[in-house]
Amino acid sequence: MPTRIEGRSETTSWNEEPYFANANESKLTSASVKAALSGGITGESNARYLQVYVSEKAGKFVGVERFAGKVEGRKGSFVVQIEGTFAPEAIRAQWAVVPGSGSEELTNLQGSGTYFWEPKLGHRTLFTFEYELGT
């Protein structure tokens, strides 16, 4: 049975660069993001997102994110594949652990989660994570 945990991710670095921009088409960007995590997952994450802007401030993104630290006291790292939407009023995303990406005490980690952000949270994003440590 999966274990459900919650926590916060606080952005410590955001570097976004356009790789396609044309006044008559959607802008495409790549973002490199670092964050500090607290709650059920503690440690840091490094992510790379590909984003498409469907308006000046809203769009969709996909990416991968590597977490390093502890999941409820178990040390290691793992990678998730993430997909979401962004707009000035909210960011919502779903993510899933990439099978085989766990290390150390998280070697057989499986699971999925969500991110949620709104302006009142500042640089903090709330997350949920349902996981199992297979054998």
pLDDT at position 24 is: 86
pLDDT at position 27 is: 95
The two three-digit tokens of residue 53, written as one number = 């802007």
pTM: 0.92
pLDDT at position 120 is: 85
Superfamily per CATH, domain 3-133: SO1590-like (2.40.350.10)
pLDDT at position 11 is: 92
Question: What are the residue boundaries of the structural domains of the chain, listed by start?
Answer: 3-133
Q: What is the mean pLDDT of each run of 10 residues along the chain (135 residues)?
A: 94 95 91 96 97 95 98 96 95 97 96 92 90 85
